[in-house]
């Protein structure tokens, strides 16, 4: 990619990032002011890193000696700011002292480099001219920063997964995909640079292009949704018996319906059956069904299902018609979703694995026949 095109793209992204940051900081929505400030800070970090890459694309590092290592620690801010923004926007988490621990790696790294930052321009220029390539410790730091960043992407993904689908959530998931792809490409570019593989642009430029994509993806999201938008969680249905024992008459009726759903309808054979889904079948809430199973059967929901699944599998294993069938096929038909779940539940309820059970029953049948 010609440097002039790359330079133009970087300049446009810097302008877009600064514009968005200003719009977020000037937003008059008190409910999301904290979240907007965090996103604005993230966009300013992106603009600074892209600006540093713009200097490199135009060969201007030596003309501006103070650019040396100027953004070296900013990579430690991107992941935490994204994570804190999501926590504030989606869960209204305040930015208190506990949250500031996420900024600690950036602060420590910046303090460590402070003696270098305080040097005069002449000393920084001499440092740059005295090196033919980046020092080894910067290469190690770059790998550490990328690992740190990808860890925060994972944590951010887990945060977003806690919220049900909605316009903002869908948009944020797309932003996370942009971050993840950018991080992977940056790792690949860094690896190629270490291996002396010829590249059209530097690894720093690849990283800046990834940030450029994030800036424009954020702009696209801002166009589709107001900057002050926050998803409103749907109110959870209040359990009828949340603070008291279920009346005996209601308890008996629900228990009969539950037993029928298991023994007659065999709903346990659905390997993806969830507590709320079964509760809806019985006209109950998930809390009420969980309470009923705990009180009436003395087990949790999963163990309750596994009891039926184990008994169904035992019958299948004992049937001569299934002599040629694999245990896993029979287990899946009984409702087990995986081999590990099968072995764990079967051994818990019978004291042996399905294979041991089948061999034992086969040996017993042979001896009885003899």
Out of 100-104, 107-111, 218-222, pick the least confident: 218-222
User: With 90 as the cut, is the pLDDT of residue 173 above it?
Assistant: no
HSE toward the beta carbon, residue 314, CA cutoff 13 A: 17
Q: Is the separation of the CB atoms in 39 and 86 below 8 Å?
A: no
pLDDT digits (tens, 9 = 90+) for 248-271: 778 888 899 999 999 999 999 998
Q: Which two tokens stand for residue 345?
A: 């539940």
pLDDT digits (tens, 9 = 90+) for 285-298: 888 888 889 888 88
Per-residue pLDDT, 190? 66
HEC sequence for 287-341: HHHHHHHHHHHCCCHHHHHHHHHHHHHHHHHHCHHHCCCCHHHHHHHHCCCCHHH
Per-residue pLDDT, 184? 76
Q: Is the separation of the CB atoms in 301 and 261 below 8 Å?
A: no
The length of the chain is 370
Per-residue pLDDT, 267? 93
Most confident of the following: 192-196, 205-209, 260-264, 320-324 = 260-264
User: With 60 as the cut, is the pLDDT of residue 96 above it?
Assistant: yes
Mean of pLDDT values over 303-316:
92
More confident residue, 200 or 325: 325
| pLDDT band at residue 242 using 50, 70 and 90 as cut-offs | low
More confident residue, 129 or 246: 129
User: With 90 as the cut, is the pLDDT of residue 108 above it?
Assistant: yes
Class of residue 29 by CB neighbours under 10 A (exposed 0-12, middle 13-18, buried 19+): middle
pLDDT digits (tens, 9 = 90+) for 212-224: 887 887 777 665 5
Q: Is the separation of the CB atoms in 109 and 116 below 8 Å?
A: no
Give the orientation angle of helix 301-318 with respect to helix 327-334, to 10 degrees: 130
Per-residue pLDDT, 296? 87
Residue 36 neighbours by CB under 8 Å, 6+ apart: 24, 25, 27, 29, 227, 228
Domains present along the chain, CATH in parentheses:
3-224 (1.20.1070), 237-298 (no CATH), 313-370 (no CATH)
User: With 60 as the cut, is the pLDDT of residue 241 above it?
Assistant: no
| pLDDT band at residue 228 using 50, 70 and 90 as cut-offs | very low
């Amino acid at each position: 990619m010609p440097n002039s095109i790359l330079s133009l793209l970087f300049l446009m992204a810097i302008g877009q990032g600064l514009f968005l940051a200003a719009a977020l900081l000037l937003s008059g929505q008190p409910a999301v002011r904290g979240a907007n400030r965090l996103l604005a800070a993230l966009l300013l970090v992106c603009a600074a890193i892209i600006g540093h890459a713009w200097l490199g694309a135009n060969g201007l590092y030596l003309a501006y000696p103070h650019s040396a290592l100027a953004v070296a620690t900013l990579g430690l801010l991107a992941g935490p700011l994204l994570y804190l923004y999501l926590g504030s926007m989606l869960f209204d988490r305040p930015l208190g002292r506990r949250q500031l621990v996420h900024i600690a790696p950036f602060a420590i790294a910046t303090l460590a480099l402070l003696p270098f930052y305080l040097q005069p321009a002449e000393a920084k220029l001499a440092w740059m001219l005295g090196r033919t390539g980046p020092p080894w410790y910067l290469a190690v730091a770059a790998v550490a920063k990328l690992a740190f960043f990808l860890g925060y992407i994972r944590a951010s993904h887990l945060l977003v997964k806690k919220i049900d689908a909605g316009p903002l959530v869908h948009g944020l998931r797309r932003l996370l995909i942009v971050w993840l792809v950018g991080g992977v490409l940056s790792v690949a570019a860094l690896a190629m640079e270490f291996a002396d593989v010829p590249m059209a642009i530097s690894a720093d430029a690849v990283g800046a292009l990834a940030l450029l994509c994030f800036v424009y993806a954020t702009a696209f999201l801002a166009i589709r949704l107001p900057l002050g938008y926050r998803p409103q969680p749907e109110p959870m249905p209040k359990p009828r018996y949340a603070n008291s024992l279920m009346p005996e008459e209601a308890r008996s009726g629900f228990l009969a319906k539950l037993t029928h759903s298991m023994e007659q309808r065999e709903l346990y054979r659905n390997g993806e059956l969830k507590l709320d889904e079964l509760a809806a079948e019985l006209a109950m809430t998930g809390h009420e069904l969980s309470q009923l199973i705990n009180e009436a059967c003395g087990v949790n929901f999963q163990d309750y299902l596994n009891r039926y699944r184990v008994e169904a599998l035992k019958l299948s294993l004992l049937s001569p018609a299934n002599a040629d069938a694999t245990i896993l096929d029979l287990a899946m038909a009984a409702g087990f979703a995986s081999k590990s779940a099968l072995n764990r539940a079967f051994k818990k309820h019978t004291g042996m694995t399905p294979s041991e059970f089948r061999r034992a029953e086969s040996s017993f049948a042979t001896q009885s026949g003899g």
